[in-house]
Structure 1
Amino acid sequence: MASESVTTSAKPPVVDQQTWRAALDELRRREKAATRELDAIAAARRRLPMVELPDYTLIGAEGPIRLVDIFKGRSQLITYHHMWTDGAEWHCGGCTGFTSQFTRLEFLDNYDARFVIVTNGPIEEALAYRDKVGNKMEWYSSSQSSFGADVDAPPGGGFAVNVFLRDGEKVYRTWHTNGRGTEQLSHTFALIDILPYGRQEEWQDSPEGWPKRPTYSGWLDSPDIARFYGKGNA
């Protein structure tokens, strides 16, 4: 998708420094309240119960691998279930773009954790697609198990994020989200949302005259990601 400049004459009102500061301070109170609420939600998340999982076997680059071994000795694991259609040239642009952000995950080592991609597609196709779009994460396939369906990401279904805790040979599911619940894990929307014009999507509450376009139309699609980051462009 080619980049497009904003074509509108609408702009925020111009005021003096004192008026601007007062409006910013009022918004900041709301932002801080939201931050405290997110802290409280995170505290509640840390108190969630968990459910023990069966001994799933997935497929990795080296062949079959037990879910417990995907932790690679760590106690915590995050998985992003990438939407998939067997044999397709391109897969979900949202999933492809979202996961392209995560190029440096070594910081999770200090938190005894990993973050990987799982898809319901065949591992050979998944790894080839990973290389084509220049994805830097480690990929696994659940095509030969019920893992995807059991963690709310069935074949033909949507994307999902799941979190797991390992205790020895046992694996427990601790958290799950999908849809807009994944936005908090992305830096893209956080950056776009602080811009004067925001996401510019038609569903959003914006002032009269602000640029608007169909939802998703500003997102990079899978071919864009491949062009920027894929094989031959690294």
Structure 2
Amino acid sequence: MTVTKHRTGTREEWLAARLELLKAEKELTHRSDELARRRQELPWVPIGKEYRFETDEGTSSLADLFRGRSQLIVYHFMFGPDYTAGCPSCSAIADGFNGFVVHLANHDVMLWAVSRAPLVKLQTYKRRMGWTFPWASSQDGDFNFDFCASYTEEQQREGMEYNFTREPVQQWRQGEDGGGEDAEAKFAAMCGIDAPAYLRERPGMSAFALEDGVVYHTYSAYARGVDILWGMYQWLDRAPKGRNEDAGVWWRRHDEYDKR
């Protein structure tokens, strides 16, 4: 019989350790409540620029995306114009949208995904994934660029401002996999592009409010700031072995696991 290498103990020892952990979990919950309050206290920035989006219902403005609600949350989904499929990581996050988008919509909050790919590509991929949440294309506008979710080749060469920090310039190697890290090169290939093109799109989320006909930008988060949106990670963080990613990237689009 194989004996586990993990620390073992009695039920009494487990309960004592669990009660100590419970104290820390409660502290984290209270800290999270405080951070939520501080997010809501951020100053609102009025948006004077006119943004246009292509949706299933036709061309829409940013105000139109509210669909009668006073709050809007946009998930910046990595799906550039040249991608052949959406980012696998963004896809894993978006797998959870169908379940709660209806609840948000009935609590005065509209949730949209927005990408720069043409609408027809988004619609095709959406059908493949079995998703029904609203997804808009910002292909011909500045929305993604203005909200730090897309970058030009020139910006990439000079160093991009992402997650409120200037990134170091990437020295991409020519004729190879794009010079990205293993995960970046792998995901780029899964999207039908090279690593530099893949990384000119970035994940994130932005929140907006609509009052008296004026749209305000209220909050944005990027990188690990959207980690909490990964439903699968919240479950894995409570599993016996946690995220268990010593071997690197393991996830795929949900219809690709049987193809490995």
Q: Same fold (TM over 0.5)?
A: yes
Please list, as runs of the form range in 1=range in 2, the aligned pairs for 1:218-233 lying within 5 A after superposition: 219-221=251-253, 223-224=255-256
Q: Which amino acid aligns with 2:117?
A: G
- Aligned to 1:111, which of 83, 107, 110? 107
Partners in 1 of 2:7 and 2:97 — Cα distance? Answer: 37
Tell me the CA shift for residue 220 of structure 1: 2.5
Q: Distance in 1 between matches of 2:67 and 2:253?
A: 32
Aligned residue number for residue 222 of structure 2:
178
Distance 1:46 1:184 in 2: 17
Q: Are 1:163 and 1:173, in contact at CA under 8 Å, matched by a contact in 2?
A: yes
1:94 CA drift (Å): 0.2
Counterpart CA distance in 1 for 2:72 and 2:62 is 10
Match of 1:208 in 2: none
Q: Does 1:40 align with 2:34?
A: yes
TM-score by length of 1: 0.82
2:74 counterpart residue number? 79
* SS of structure 2 residue aligned to 1:171: strand
Equivalent residue in structure 2 for 1:21, among 1, 6, 15: 15
* 1:55–1:68 contact (8 Å) kept in structure 2: no
**Which secondary structure does the structure 2 equivalent of 1:176 belong to?**
strand
Q: State the shift of 1:30 in Å.
A: 0.9
Q: How many residues align?
A: 208
- Deviating more after overlay: 68-77 vs 155-164: 155-164
Secondary structure of the structure 1 residue equivalent to 2:210: strand
For residues 66 and 225 of structure 1, what CA distance do their matches in structure 2 show?
A: 38
- Following superposition, the deviation at residue 148 of structure 1 comes to 0.7
Structure 2: give runs of 5+ residues left out of the alignment: 152-199
Aligned residues with identical type, % of pairs: 29
Q: Quick one: structure 1 residues 81 and 226, their matched pair in 2 at CA, closer, same or farther if it must change by over 3 Å?
A: farther
- Contact 2:80–2:201 (Cα < 8 Å) also in 1: no
- CA RMSD across the alignment: 2.0
The CA distance in 2 between the partners of 1:159 and 1:166, in whole Å, is 24
Contact 2:105 2:111 in 1 (8 A): no
Q: Structure 1: which 5+ residue stretches go unaligned?
A: 1-7, 203-212, 228-234
**Equivalent position SS for 1:111:** coil
Letter in 1 for 2:210: R
Secondary structure of 1:106's counterpart equals: helix
Question: How far off is 1:222 after superposition?
Answer: 6.1
Shift of 1:87: 4.0
> Does structure 2 retain, via aligned residues, the 8 Å contact 1:76–1:113?
yes
* Equivalence for 1:188: 232
2:24 is aligned to 30
CA spacing shift, 1:71–1:31, aligned 2, 3 Å? same
Aligned partners of 2:257 and 2:129: how far apart in 1? 6
The aligned residue for residue 125 of structure 1 is 121
Aligned residue in 2 for 1:150: 146
Q: CA deviation at 1:177?
A: 0.6
Q: 1 or 2 for the larger relative contact order (CA 8 Å, sep ≥6)? A: 1
Partner of residue 70, structure 1:
65
- Hey, what's the Cα distance between the residues in 2 that align with 1:226 and 1:108? 33
Tell me if structure 2 keeps the 8 A contact 1:100–1:136: no
- How far apart in 2 are the matches of 1:75 and 1:162? 14
Q: Distance in 2 between matches of 1:90 and 1:132?
A: 10
